[in-house]
A and B are shown apart, each in its own frame.
Chain A
Amino acid sequence: MNSQLLSSADGSIDKPAALETSNLTFCWDRLQPTLRFPDLNLPRGEHLFLYGPSGTGKSTLLSLLAGMLSPASGVVKLLGTEFHTSGAGKRDRFRADHIGVIFQQFNLVPYLTAEANVTLPCKLSSRRQSATGESPTVAAQRLLSALAIPQSHWQRKVTQLSIGQQQRIAAARALIGAPEIILADEPTSALDSDNRDRFINLLLGLAGERNTSVVFVSHDRSLARCFHHQIELGQVSA
């Protein structure tokens, strides 16, 4: 394993872990090589940058962390719970309650308005709904304003919005109800550099306010400076 954890300056050891993995492996099928992942340990409220070229299993790792795939071996612990041993239904509920997600593109349900897309997690999780403190709509509007989506766009069909706006709406959806973990899979790869920096600053700033840990996957190494930790996913070992 040639990946390494670059520790941040502050004493993160005392904080409870948002996510921990050890000896994680995954195999799509018998013909393909087994993917091995470095051990992760991310304290609550801190952000992790996962770097790796294509084919190193970045998305697969996120699937394992999100509980959408089960590892071949190893341990995934989210917020102190052993996640990989839970049943699929329990993992779905856990994901709804504690994890926000942002994809590379096609982040939004095309037939819902911007606002309805943002409030979607509150409808799937009563925990996230009550965590908004106010009505989910008000919380969504607050986030959309914070993410610089003009009010005139809130009730629009999301297919009419620009890619940058769509990604920021997805960020609002991931942030609503203050989940403990946000998993972001190359969310900036379709954005130009101005939009990219703005997106990352807004996302990390708002996540920091909510004590939310962000796991950010990208092949663009220059982004690493914004994060507390970074890990490089290495070659695939057979």
Chain B
Amino acid sequence: MKFRLALSLATASLWYRRKVLALVCLTLTLSVTLLLGVQYLRTEVKQSFTSTISDTDLIIGARSGQLNLLLYTVFHMGDATNNIRWSTFQALEKDARIDWLIPISLGDSYKGFRVVATDKAFKEYFRYGQGQPLELAGGQWFDGIFDVVLGAGVARTLNHHLNDDVILSHGGGRTSFSNHKDTPFRITGILEATGTPVDQAVYISLQGMEAIHVGWESGVAISGRTLTPERAQARDLTPSAITAVFAGLDRKILTFRVQRDINQYAGEPLSAILPGVALSELWRLMSQFERALLGITGFVVVTSLIGLIAVLLTLQAQRAHEIAILRATGASPGLIASLYVIECLGLAVVACLTALVLSSLAISILGPWLLTNYGIQIQLRPLNLEEWALLASVPLAALLVAFVPALSAWQKSRSQGFGSPEEL
């Protein structure tokens, strides 16, 4: 009975002071929304990060560290330390344990986007997410030497369409002064958005890569020695070297043995890495940052809770009369203190529920926009256990800090005399 009384008194009191409390409640709501949002993004980004590449068992490149190899092959960041010989690729092709190979050759760019030279195997075997294959939004995968396929992000950013002509640049960088202008490429296909670095690259054939570099052996074009498209058709354009190879094995159990064999390859120094392992190592580096972000958000929530307590303590002076009445009518100091605990908890619960509604609204509204503009895939999903725990920690923390005004009210009302304090 006393609990029901306390509950009804606290509810009536919250409603009575709704104008002041709405503001602190709003502060708390926004900070909890931020907390939920950051936590949600954290798991979503991790999910999308670890699903950048899938089904590839080994990435093989010139001898280097695994992060470096992962960064330049998968994320198109940084540069290769060295190339691997075409004969090495051919030797790998003969290995019976290897099911498929995707050769890639890097080095050029198109308006700041990496050019990836590869072959049909890329379209056929490359997987991302939970084993999703690449799909073309329009056109077809390249067939001719001067065909190019654009990632979804490139096509959207540069507003390119099928059959447009593009001039690739030599080397990286957004503005390059050495362009392969003798050998324009034609867009034959545009990929569907994947939310991975695949969207941010353009794809040509290995032969195309070879063709545009004839006459560029010194690093710049020597006029008269470069190929025209017509002359290129007649030439043998088998590359002498490539940058890296993605490999898929027949039997996954052999992964470590194949990795060891490649690392000990006698022909030239090679490194083979397991993309999953390298990705999680990379994520560990980044997780410092995201944990710091979560920590900061946590502090924002704590700050708003302190604000809430400050307001409740300020309101305490206003409530002297009503406390005097309750005490004189026979309410115990414990009941008075419980009013503060219930009010604080009630505000926190209201803030959490509002934050839940707010963040689900934000995600459902911003989700499609984020995917089309940034290639980040965020969908509304039920909260996981960790997120529920994080959300529940807010009312729990509120309960804890509620003891500050509650104890002070308890102490004051214990020595409360008859009538309001100033009348004594």
Instruction: Point out residues on A near B: beta carbons under 8 Å.
Output: 59-60, 62-63, 66, 68-69, 88-89, 92-97, 99, 101, 103-104, 106-112, 116, 120-121, 123-126, 173, 183, 185
Contacts of B4 in A (CB 8 A): 123
Assess the A125–B330 pair: CB atoms within 8 A: yes
The 8 Å CB contact of A185, one of B12, B326, B419, is B419
Assess the A104–B329 pair: CB atoms within 8 A: no
Most buried by A among B13, B331, B333: B331
Binary CB contact string for chain B from 411 to 424 against chain A (1 if under 8 A, 0 otherwise): 00010111110011
Assess the A92–B16 pair: CB atoms within 8 A: no
Rounded to whole angstroms, the CA-CA distance of A122 and B155 in the bound complex is: 75
Contacts of A95 in B (CB 8 A): 328-330
Contacts of B9 in A (CB 8 A): 109, 112
Assess the B324–A111 pair: CB atoms within 8 A: no
Question: Provided the pairs A59-B418, A104-B423, A126-B1 are in contact, do residues A110 and B322 lie with their beta carbons within 8 angstroms?
Answer: yes
Question: Provided the pairs A89-B332, A123-B1 are in contact, do residues A103 and B325 lie with their beta carbons within 8 angstroms?
Answer: yes
Most buried by A among B4, B329, B420: B329
Residue B15 interfacial (CB < 8 Å): yes
The 8 Å CB contact of B330, one of A60, A93, A107, A111, is A93
Residue B327 interfacial (CB < 8 Å): yes
Known A-B contacts: A96-B331, A101-B329. Give 12 more (CB < 8 A): A59-B417, A59-B423, A63-B424, A69-B417, A89-B332, A93-B330, A96-B330, A101-B328, A101-B418, A111-B15, A126-B1, A185-B423
Most buried by A among B324, B328, B417, B424: B328
Residue B174 interfacial (CB < 8 Å): no
Assess the A68–B13 pair: CB atoms within 8 A: no
Contacts of A92 in B (CB 8 A): 327, 330-333
List the count of A-B residue pairs having beta carbons below 8 Å apart: 95
Q: How far is the CB of B271 from chain A (nearest CB, A)?
A: 72
Contacts of A111 in B (CB 8 A): 12-13, 15-17, 322
Chain B residue at smallest Cβ distance from A116? B12
Contacts of A183 in B (CB 8 A): 418
The 8 Å CB contact of B327, one of A68, A93, A94, A108, is A68
Rounded to whole angstroms, the CA-CA distance of A121 and B331 in the bound complex is: 9
Assess the A63–B418 pair: CB atoms within 8 A: yes
Interface SS of B by simple majority: helix
Binary CB contact string for chain B from 396 to 424 against chain A (1 if under 8 A, 0 otherwise): 00000000000000000010111110011
Rounded to whole angstroms, the CA-CA distance of A173 and B13 in the bound complex is: 19
Residue B321 interfacial (CB < 8 Å): yes
Residue B5 interfacial (CB < 8 Å): yes
Assess the B417–A60 pair: CB atoms within 8 A: yes
Most buried by B among A99, A101, A125, A185: A101
Assess the A185–B418 pair: CB atoms within 8 A: yes
Interface SS of A by simple majority: helix
Q: How far is the CB of B75 from chain A (nearest CB, A)?
A: 60
Q: How far is the CB of A227 from chain B (nearest CB, A)?
A: 19
CB-CB contacts below 8 Å: B265-324 with A: 321-322, 324
Contacts of B414 in A (CB 8 A): 88
Assess the B419–A103 pair: CB atoms within 8 A: yes
Question: Provided the pairs A92-B330, A123-B1, A125-B330 are in contact, do residues A107 and B418 lie with their beta carbons within 8 angstroms?
Answer: no
Assess the B328–A66 pair: CB atoms within 8 A: yes
Q: How far is the CB of A183 from chain B (nearest CB, A)?
A: 7
Q: How far is the CB of B124 from chain A (nearest CB, A)?
A: 71
Chain B residue at smallest Cβ distance from A69? B417
Contacts of B417 in A (CB 8 A): 59-60, 63, 68-69
Contacts of A109 in B (CB 8 A): 9, 322, 325-326
Residues of B in contact (CB 8 Å), total 30
Most buried by A among B5, B17, B321, B414: B321
Contacts of A107 in B (CB 8 A): 325
Contacts of B322 in A (CB 8 A): 109-111
Assess the A124–B329 pair: CB atoms within 8 A: yes
Q: How far is the CB of B392 from chain A (nearest CB, A)?
A: 29
Q: How far is the CB of A34 from chain B (nearest CB, A)?
A: 16
Chain B residue at smallest Cβ distance from A89? B332
Contacts of A120 in B (CB 8 A): 326, 329
Query: 21 A-B pairs, CB-CB below 8 angstroms?
Result: A59-B418, A60-B418, A69-B417, A92-B330, A95-B328, A96-B330, A101-B328, A101-B418, A103-B324, A103-B325, A103-B423, A104-B419, A109-B9, A109-B326, A110-B322, A111-B12, A123-B5, A124-B5, A124-B329, A185-B418, A185-B423
Contacts of B418 in A (CB 8 A): 59-60, 62-63, 66, 68-69, 101, 103, 183, 185
Q: How far is the CB of A21 from chain B (nearest CB, A)?
A: 15
Assess the A103–B328 pair: CB atoms within 8 A: yes
Rounded to whole angstroms, the CA-CA distance of A97 and B4 in the bound complex is: 18
Q: How far is the CB of B251 from chain A (nearest CB, A)?
A: 73
Question: Provided the pairs A59-B423, A66-B418, A123-B1 are in contact, do residues A112 and B329 lie with their beta carbons within 8 angstroms?
Answer: no
Rounded to whole angstroms, the CA-CA distance of A120 and B1 in the bound complex is: 12
Q: How far is the CB of B330 from chain A (nearest CB, A)?
A: 2
Contacts of A96 in B (CB 8 A): 329-331
Assess the A103–B420 pair: CB atoms within 8 A: yes
Assess the B330–A124 pair: CB atoms within 8 A: yes
Rounded to whole angstroms, the CA-CA distance of A70 and B13 in the bound complex is: 30
Rounded to whole angstroms, the CA-CA distance of A95 and B326 in the bound complex is: 11
Contacts of A121 in B (CB 8 A): 329-330
Contacts of B325 in A (CB 8 A): 103, 106-109
Rounded to whole angstroms, the CA-CA distance of A104 and B420 in the bound complex is: 9
Contacts of B330 in A (CB 8 A): 92-97, 99, 121, 124-125
Q: How far is the CB of A155 from chain B (nearest CB, A)?
A: 13
Chain B residue at smallest Cβ distance from A159? B16
